[in-house]
Amino acid sequence: MIKESLVNALSDQVNTEYYSAYLYLSMSAYADRAGFKGVAHWLFVQAQEEIAHGTHLYRHILDRGAAPSFGDIKTPQSSFASIKDLFDKILAHERQVTERIHRIASLAQSEQDHATYAFISWYINEQVEEEAQAEELAARAARIGDNPGLLYNLDSALAARTFTDPFAGEGA
């Protein structure tokens, strides 16, 4: 049986993952309204990924014989100064998520819950990728500035992203 401290931490992370989805949907709407359909699409796919993460965490709690708890999901920011500002906010958000995942891993270690530690290790690795991608996009947006041609190229490149469920085949 999983300890209550871990159920609470994982439940809180489920909430954070769904907030992340809301944030990325809000950012997607901003980008769409600003005429950046490729950025909007990339962010929509990111939202789908966050929903998959939340569901995966939820399933782990249930699989361990516990009941997840749910909190309010705060309203995400919906207005941004620029595409650069948007990607800077993404990077800051992903860094916060990384800190949260590390705290869960530390808690799992201190509680000697090897199953949860092994489970959360996937998220540790995922956050390395998430931060690297966010850092790259924030740096690209900073270099591009307000150059319309380069913004168009970035927008076009981001339109190619597709969603692949990282947990497909694991069962529901």
Domain boundaries, the chain: 4-158
Q: What local confidence, expressed as pLDDT, does residue 172 receive?
A: 52
Q: Which residues contact 68 (CB under 8 A, 6 or more apart)?
A: 7, 10, 11, 14, 58, 61, 62
Structure tokens at 38: 């490729």
Q: What local confidence, expressed as pLDDT, does residue 35 receive?
A: 96
Domain made up of 4-158: CATH architecture: Up-down Bundle (1.20)
The per-residue pLDDT for range 96-141, each reduced to its tens digit, is: 999 999 999 999 999 999 999 999 999 999 999 999 999 999 999 9
pTM of the model: 0.94
Q: How confident is the model at residue 168 (pLDDT cuts 50, 70, 90)?
A: confident
Rounded distance between C-alpha atoms, residue 125 and residue 13, angstroms: 16
Rounded distance between C-alpha atoms, residue 134 and residue 5, angstroms: 31
* 52 touches 165 (CB < 8 A): yes
The per-residue pLDDT for range 53-108, each reduced to its tens digit, is: 999 999 999 999 999 999 999 999 999 999 999 999 999 999 999 999 999 999 99
Average pLDDT, integer, range 39-45:
98
